[in-house]
Amino acid sequence: MSEEKNLYTFENPEYRKTYWHTCSHVLAQAMKRLHPEVKLAIGPAIENGFYYDFDTPEPFSETQLAELEAEMRKICKEKLKLERFELPRAEALALMEEKGEPYKVELINDLPEDAVISFYRQGEFTDLCAGPHLDSTGRIKGNAIKLTACNAAYWRGDSNRQTLQRIYGVAFPKKDELDEYLAKIEEAKKRDHRKLGRELGLFMLRDEGPGFPFFLPKGMVLRNTLIDYWRQVHKRYGYVEISTPMMLNRQLWERSGHWDHYKDNMYTTVIDGTDFAIKPMNCPGGMLVYSSQPHSYRDLPLRVGELGLVHRHELSGALHGLFRVRCFTQDDAHIFMTWDQMKDEIKNVVRLFDEVYSVFGLSYQIEVSTMPEDHMGDEKDWDFATETLKAAVEELGKDYVINEGDGAFYGPKLDFHLADSLGRTWQCGTIQLDMQLPERFELEYVGEDGEKHRPVMIHRVVLGSIERFIGVITEHFAGAFPTWLSPVQVKVLPVTDRAAEYADQVASKLDNMGFRVEVDHRNEKIGKKIREAQLEKVPYMLVVGDRDMENGTVSPRHRADGDLGAMSFDEFAALLTDVVNTKAKK
């Protein structure tokens, strides 16, 4: 009985999608009531709500969105029944032409000849739609609807077609659920890594280089600390590090298959009459490194890491802070192994992921992506690789979901969806099995039998890209990075000019111990210095005054815990050392 009940709650993703899809029709009906001249395009449910595209020359103001919300609430109160009906092509076209809906006419014309053409009617409003929908607008809680934005969008995503206005919305079965969601959205705005990146002096984005981020001094400290940690972990897990060229010739990219499948996303040039491309990924260079010398089964598994700067041509409208850029550093690794080493290597990578993600307080869900239709290679190999992925995860006691048909063309994969402090998910880590590149590059090793064999390979990233991961953890920590990662770990705040020299001595001793420290020598009140250090998200502030000079003490304050009380320098240094060495999350 409870399972049946859950079918009609937001715990069921299909019900949630149907609910939001119906909301998009309510939005379209409200639009036609208030603005009958507006033409309808499409209105699907999406991951976090719904939208509808309208042909209207101007974006809608907040006042107009509020008016649409009010009309949507009226429609919900009217409890209009949603009725599905089908029409032959000619009658369907005539209906939409009569209603003056040219976008619907185009959609019908583009349907296959044998397609079922269905509509949904609610009151006076009818829309072309495959469904499904709720049975009544009364199922929607009117006071739990919110229209969140209005942005420009191209008809059918084509920049050469009509510019439409896309209105986004979200709705929930209960008002308090909407309030909770909107509170998270407001908190997410405060944590926006683009905003915090400016305020904290981490990075900048300029029109002179769209999609090509500039890292500032404090951002470089953060970046290099993250990279240092990456290197430490990978050394412990048995990886060697390489670096491959940023630009390689067309012949290599044709051999790897990227020229045919990825050319439009690659930056190319001509050198000495030969086509070259800036690398969009590190893999082909890694193949050349492996093939540069002979290998025995005793060398395997061979774990090879690379922090490679790659470039991809992303459309300008898709660029988004550090989350979507045109150049980024992939924390790549390629593992060359025998088929019977596959499961143990997968488990080894998952353990590495566990260690890294736990340091940042990030939980995750694993997705197993299986063979797509346009796959390469033998299906038996695919089945073996997919079952090996599942078995490795199960033996580690991990849960997973199946993402049917979403594997790479060369092999199945595990995707790791990280959950941050706001419950948002980010796809960062991936483990991809590849049976094809070793074949294309004719990679070999000599087995115990003295014969040559083809290795199998894992592609994997743990952070995804250094830039994007910095964006993720900036929002996850709201800019208040753990002490070990913070660009400035300690700020020494002299209370008076008399304490300035002592403040410098304290800072110098901390600096010599390897800590990142600054001194605020400004002629400002101590309260203002503390407030500004708090805004800069500095983990520890050392307030030093006359008494500290006399006693050789410091008075630390933590940005979250407040005043820690006076202590000796050695006591504070020991505290700081422990926090940094254990990578505590404070």
Every domain of the chain and the residues it spans: 2-181, 197-238+296-476, 490-581
**Among the options 32, 234, 334, 491, which is catalytic?**
334
- CA atoms of 109 and 155, how far apart (whole Å): 16
Q: How is domain 197-238+296-476 classified at the CATH fold level?
A: BirA Bifunctional Protein; domain 2 (3.30.930)
CATH architecture of 2-181: 2-Layer Sandwich (3.30)
Q: Which residues does 337 contact at the CB level (< 8 Å), separation at least 6?
A: 300, 301, 302, 345, 455, 456, 457, 458
Q: How is domain 490-581 classified at the CATH fold level?
A: Rossmann fold (3.40.50)
459 catalytic per annotation: yes
Q: Which residues does 254 contact at the CB level (< 8 Å), separation at least 6?
A: 260
**Among the options 53, 127, 331, 332, which is catalytic?**
332
Give the helix/strand (H/E) hosting 219.
Answer: helix 217-236
**Among the options 390, 413, 460, 491, which is catalytic?**
413
Q: In this structure, are residues 456 and 173 in contact, taking their beta carbons and an 8 Å threshold?
A: no
The series of mean pLDDT values per 10 residues for the chain, 586 residues long, is 62 93 98 96 94 92 95 97 96 96 96 93 96 96 94 89 95 95 91 95 95 97 98 97 96 90 91 96 95 96 97 89 95 95 96 96 94 83 92 95 86 92 87 90 96 95 96 96 98 95 97 97 95 97 94 95 94 97 94
Ramachandran sector of residue 244 (left: φ over 0; alpha: ψ -120 to 50; beta: rest): beta
Tokens read off for 256: 């790897």
Give helix 466-476 / helix 217-236 axis angle, nearest 10°: 110
Q: What is the pLDDT of residue 8?
A: 79
334 catalytic per annotation: yes
- CA atoms of 425 and 416, how far apart (whole Å): 10
Supply the DSSP string of 147-211, one letter for each residue. EEEEEEEEGGG-TTS-EEEEEEEEE-SSHHHHHHHHHHHHHHHHT-HHHHHHHTT-EE--TTSTT
Edge-first strand listing for the sheet containing 363-369: 240-241, 302-311, 327-337, 456-461, 425-434, 413-419, 363-369, 400-403
**Among the options 133, 223, 312, 559, which is catalytic?**
312
Parallel, antiparallel or unpaired: strands 302-311 and 240-241: parallel
413 catalytic per annotation: yes
**Separation in Å, CA 79 to CA 23, 75, 418, 527:** 13, 7, 40, 59
* Measured CA angle at 286 (ends 285, 289), to 5 deg: 90
Stated length of the chain: 586
Per-residue H/E/C for 367-386: EEECCCCCCCCCHHHHHHHH
**Among the options 29, 165, 330, 436, which is catalytic?**
330
81 catalytic per annotation: no
Q: What is the pLDDT of residue 346?
A: 96
**Among the options 25, 459, 460, 516, which is catalytic?**
459
**Among the options 76, 283, 327, 428, which is catalytic?**
283
Q: How far is CA 269 from the centre of its chain?
A: 30
Q: In this structure, are residues 367 and 399 in contact, taking their beta carbons and an 8 Å threshold?
A: no
Same fold, 2-181 and 490-581: no
- CA atoms of 428 and 322, how far apart (whole Å): 13
330 catalytic per annotation: yes
- CA atoms of 399 and 393, how far apart (whole Å): 7
